[in-house]
Amino acid sequence: MEDAPLPVVGVGIAIVSSFINGSTFVLQKKGILRARRSGRSYLSDCVWWCGTLAMIVGQIGNFLAHNAAPAVLVTPLGALGVLFGAILASLLLQEHLNMLGKLGCVLCCCGSFVLIIHSPKSEGVASSVEFEERLLDPVFLSYTALVVLLLIILIGWLSPAYGKSNIMVYVGICSLLGCFTVPSCKGLGLAAKDAFGGDAFTTDNRALYLFLCLLAVLLVSILIQFTFINKALENFSSNMFEAVYYVVFTSSVILASAILFKEWEALGILDCLGILCGFTTVCVGVVLLRISQEAVLTWIPSRTKEE
Amino acid sequence: MEDAPLPVVGVGIAIVSSFINGSTFVLQKKGILRARRSGRSYLSDCVWWCGTLAMIVGQIGNFLAHNAAPAVLVTPLGALGVLFGAILASLLLQEHLNMLGKLGCVLCCCGSFVLIIHSPKSEGVASSVEFEERLLDPVFLSYTALVVLLLIILIGWLSPAYGKSNIMVYVGICSLLGCFTVPSCKGLGLAAKDAFGGDAFTTDNRALYLFLCLLAVLLVSILIQFTFINKALENFSSNMFEAVYYVVFTSSVILASAILFKEWEALGILDCLGILCGFTTVCVGVVLLRISQEAVLTWIPSRTKEE
């Protein structure tokens, strides 16, 4: 990892790892279908293993991207994975991409580009000491307390009662946890650099503790997310869940990152509004892409012209 | 008209006149329905007259906007009229705006904003002499010759044969004529200023001839456009026609304006790409808004999870 990475590196990694993430499910499904046709287990299918490998590489890429570019930029670019997945599915699995899906693809590209040109160039946090200071900022602490409170209400009370009927309960839990996963990824990179990257044999204990804390937070929040994503997929259509999840998760991460890193302070009002427009466009694109796999357009028979 | 108008004035006029244009049909329809209910002629209904007045005011506003801001900016902002018309129709006529329509509205706003922040600030043509020079530029002359040739083919040959079956024939004719109407509007403003705006009793003859020529071109092209728009509306659904027409017409005007005014030369590559993304977003928004009035989403019954 370089000291002052160019955002272009981060953007590059983010785009490539989004593409790799997007190919995961398509490759795994292709492998499962191939294996079923020839009567073998999919564990012996190389395409399925490519998909699984892609998942690991994609997640590592995502982690690296979060360390090289602002979260406001990296997280929404995940939409390119949805786009790439849809195109790959229409090529490899012959899943027809209808007009709504195509419009969704176009919007994902346009919105991502607008996001890239308006997003902040760096988060301005360069060391684990600085990161720790930001973590202890009263505004961020109150925000964290609020998120934890909401999570307790959602997991303890709303999830058993309404989880199976209202998609927003599981989406809410997984999205709020994004407030911990994404900043942890970022902090882990900084803490690792300070804890292990100094002169040989001089380890910075404070940075090491921070590293271990963040690792624990990251693992716990990923585990809870994993549990509730699976619960959600059992009860709701995966396309609907992923569409709503993308929009709410990304918004939640952008909010957390804005409070933690205050990267907005360096931006003009036009850039902020540009980011908002780009992000909204990407969200509409993701929703259209997902809807296109669940619904078709039915033309209303022409009405009387008199009316 | 000021000498060096701020683009903010042009953008303001463009937005207001788009809104006024967008209200035209809704007000007229409301008037016709009201008159029919009470058994009167719609000519005695004040809401219908408001709609007709709005049409005139909107077109004058459009003309002024083209004289105060670049065509690349003013023409696509017409989308805000589609948006405003849809919202007004759902308020006044109780025409339900479904989810696709709402997404279309959001996209029109986001795309328009991106267009506004990236568009060139002025076209850099300040007098009728300069405008005349641009008109005689060999690139623009060859482009005009090509457009005239295409129009002759479309009107003389394709329109009688395929006009009633292929929507693109009438759309093509009306859009190509936009290459004449929009630059004429712009030129008329400049020529009028030089022809009539000098010291009292000293009229610039050259500018006067230019003014008359442009007025003739404008009137002829508006008349042909008017004829073919009506032919198209007789044969195709108005929503489909207007969606395709908006996209093709605006693209054609942007191309003509780019060749004539070369406003791109002053822009960076990022701004050009930003304009492209904003314009594409607006186009998708308009298409969704129009489609939403012709089609509904039908959910596909949940497929087997096994596949």
- A30: closest chain B residue by CA: B307
- pLDDT for the residue numbered A120: 81
Q: A-chain residues within 8 Å CB-CB of B287?
A: 103
Mean per-residue pLDDT for B222-247? 82
Q: Pick from B110, B237, B270: which is nearest to A281 by CB?
A: B110
**A32 Cβ under 8 Å from any chain B Cβ:** no
DSSP-assigned beta bridge partners for residue A295: B299
CA dist., res. B305 & res. B307, Å (int): 6
Coil, helix or strand at residue A37:
helix
- On chain B, the residues whose CB falls within 8 A of the CB of A247 are none
pLDDT of A204: 65
Q: Do A274 and B114 touch (CB under 8 A)?
A: yes
Contact (CB, 8 A) for B78 and B21: yes
Do A111 and B281 count as a contact with CB atoms less than 8 A apart? Answer: yes
Q: Looking at CA atoms only, how far is residue B283 from chain A in angstroms? A: 10
Asked if residues B117 and B274 have their Cβ atoms less than 8 Å apart, the reply is yes
Which of A287, A296, A299 minimises the CB distance to B300? A296
Contacts of A280 in chain B (CB under 8 A): 106, 110
Q: How far is residue A27's CA from residue B298's CA, in Å, rounded to a whole number? A: 29
Determine the 3-state secondary structure of A297 from DSSP: strand
Choose among A113, A237, A300: nearest Cβ to B294. Answer: A300
- The residue type at A214: L
Average the pLDDT over B53-80 and give the result. 86
Q: What is the 3-state secondary structure (H, E, C) of A166-223?
A: CHHHHHHHHHHHHHHHHHHHHHHHHHHHHHHCCCCCCCCHHHHHHHHHHHHHHHHHHH
Give the one of A111, A113, A298 whose C-beta lies nearest to B296's C-beta.
A298
Task: Give me chain B's average pLDDT, please.
Answer: 83
Output the pLDDT for position A302: 55
Question: Which pLDDT score, from 0 to 100, does residue A202 have?
Answer: 54
Q: Is A269 on the interface with B (CB under 8 A)?
A: no
Residue A45 burial (CB < 10 Å; 0-12/13-18/19+)? Answer: buried
Distance from the Cα of A26 to chain B's closest Cα (Å) equals 12
Q: Which residue of A has its CA nearest to B93?
A: A307
* pLDDT given for residue B305 in this prediction: 42
Strand partners, A224: none
Element (H, E) at A105: helix A99-118
Does residue B307 have a pLDDT over 60? Answer: no
Under DSSP, the state recorded for A41 is: -
pLDDT higher than threshold 60 for residue B199 = no
pLDDT tens for chain A, residues 1 to 307: 333 445 788 889 999 999 998 888 788 888 888 888 888 887 888 888 888 888 889 888 988 888 888 888 888 888 888 888 888 888 888 777 888 888 998 999 899 889 888 888 777 777 888 888 888 889 989 999 999 999 999 999 998 888 888 888 999 998 999 888 888 888 888 888 877 766 545 556 788 888 899 999 999 998 898 888 888 878 887 777 878 888 888 888 888 888 888 877 778 888 889 999 999 999 999 888 888 877 777 777 654 443 3
pLDDT over 70 percentage in chain B:
93
Q: Do residue B114 and residue A277 have CB atoms under 8 angstroms apart?
A: yes
Partner residue facing A280 (CB), from B110, B277, B295: B110
CB contacts < 8 A, A to B, total 77
User: How is chain B classified by DSSP, letter by letter?
Assistant: --SS--HHHHHHHHHHHHHHHHHHHHHHHHHHHHHHHTT--GGG-HHHHHHHHHHHHHHHHHHHHHHHS-HHHHTGGGHHHHHHHHHHHHHHS-----HHHHHHHHHHHHHHHHHHHHS-S-----SHHHHHHHHT-HHHHHHHHHHHHHHHHIIIIIHHHHTTT-HHHHHHHHHHHHHHHHHHHHHHHHHHHHHHSSSTT---HHHHHHHHHHHHHHHHHHHHHHHHHHHHHHHS-HHHHHHHHHHHHHHHHHHHHHHHH-GGGGS-HHHHHHHHHHHHHHHHHHHHHHHTTTEEEEEPPPPPS--
Contact residues, chain B, for A284 at CB < 8 Å: 103, 106-107
A interface test, pick of B42, B109, B238, B277 with most A CB neighbours within 10 Å: B277
Instruction: Tell whether the model's pLDDT for residue B200 goes beyond 50.
Output: no
Judge whether B110 is closer than 8 Å to chain A, CB to CB: yes
Q: Are B45 and B31 in contact (CB under 8 A)?
A: yes
Q: Is B281 on the interface with A (CB under 8 A)?
A: yes
Task: Please state, in angstroms and rounded to a whole number, the distance separating the CA atoms of residues A111 and A104.
Answer: 10
Query: Which of B145, B137, B171 is CA-nearest to residue B252?
Result: B171
A80/B180 Cα distance (integer angstroms): 39
Mean pLDDT of B132-159: 91
CA B137, chain centre distance (Å): 25
Report which listed range, A148-152, A190-194, B288-292, B301-305, is most confident: A148-152
Q: Which residue has the higher pLDDT, A231 or B147?
A: B147
Residue A4: C-alpha distances to residues A73, A135, A190, A283 (Å)? 17, 21, 12, 30
Q: Cα A63 vs. chain centroid, distance in angstroms? A: 11
B159-193 residue pLDDT tens: 888 888 888 899 999 899 988 888 888 888 888 88
Query: pTM for this one?
Result: 0.80
Q: Do B295 and A294 lie within an 8 Å CB cutoff?
A: no
Query: Among residues B108, B111, B17, which one has the least CA distance to residue B290?
Result: B108
The pLDDT value recorded for residue B150 is 93
What average pLDDT score do residues B71-95 get? 84
DSSP for A42-95 reads GGG-HHHHHHHHHHHHHHHHHHHHHHHS-HHHHHHHTHHHHHHHHHHHHHHS--
Please indicate if any CB of chain B lies within 8 Å of the CB of A268.
no
Best B26, B107, B267, B288 residue to mutate vs chain A (most A CBs within 10 Å): B107
Name the band, by pLDDT with cuts 50, 70 and 90, for residue B202. Answer: low
Which pLDDT belongs to residue A148? 93
Q: Residue A297 — φ and ψ, nearest 5°?
A: -80, 130
**What confidence score (pLDDT) does residue B48 get?**
85
Is residue B148's pLDDT more than 90? yes
Torsion sign, CA atoms A285, A287, A291, A296? negative
pLDDT of the residue at A203: 58
B298 near A CB under 8 A: yes
CA distance A94 to chain B (A): 13
Map tokens 């790799």 to a residue.
Answer: A20
Lowest mean pLDDT among A212-216, B105-109, B243-247, B300-304: B300-304
Is this complex scored with an ipTM above 0.85?
Answer: no
